[in-house]
Homo-oligomer: A and B are copies of this chain.
């Protein structure tokens, strides 16, 4: 039997202390579409997402990421991952079909850092309602209906007080992620890592911050826009509606443009993301960056995030 594989990032399950405000932010400002609401959880996706949802919002007493979900390549990969993870000492919990709307049987488990992951294969891909449906057969919704209007979910970035390699080692060894770029400290540990199972430079990144309030925070989740100009339009929209954000700017690592906006409901950071490069090389040599190169590595140009942790609150994941 060949090794099980992850195909792609699926969705992020967000718990928010202010559901109404988070809904306003993600629907009216970011411009996501609601698929359906089941048992108080609102399932959403972008106009170019195909799956049932790429974000879910649930009210809770603490804002946090409940889990980050990944789709496997084959139906049998879920079971295979469960077995491999358990053999390696990771506790695995099954989530029955339908427990999460639109989704089949899945497993949940925690990374060594405590971040909660979900793996599934079966998922519905509902059509948009007729009046919102794109005239294109390869596109879910009409684009540009409201707000920033990103195309699709792109990646997640985990924040941790652990060294980044303590998480990325697990991602590489147990889940098949490939290292694409990383920042190495003088002591050889990794301060940041960018990994993917797709040709994207990263489906997931790990950011080390010694002042991180825990080992398992989220730095941001990210949605993709097609054009750099769309980010500038987003900056207008965010400023007009009083949304706090950093950017626009361009990363050296990933070569991508960014805006980091804060959901005023949950406090989660959302990266609006575009451009960058793809990695098709089967023998990609991970790009190593050192701290003295971070003047172009983090911010190639543009408005950047404050380095002081107290100015960069995060929520647990």
**Chain A interfacial positions (CB closer than 8 Å to B):** 2, 7-8, 48, 50-51, 71-74, 134-139, 142-144, 151-152, 181, 198-199, 201, 226-230, 232-233, 235-242, 245, 247-250, 252-255, 257, 275, 277-278, 280-282, 287-289, 293, 296, 300-304
Contacts and interface: CB of A to CB of B under 8 A. Distances in A.
Contact of A280 (B8, B144, B226, B278): B8
Given A249-B303, A302-B302, A239 B135 contact: yes
Contacts of A288: 137
B235 A302 contact: yes
A139 B201 CA distance: 13
A303 to B, nearest CB: 4
Nearest to A180: B138
Nearest to A259: B301
Given A136-B252, A248-B248, 10 more contacts: A7-B281, A71-B282, A72-B282, A138-B252, A144-B233, A198-B278, A232-B250, A235-B302, A302-B302, A302-B303
A7 B282 CA distance: 7
Contacts of A142: 237, 240-241
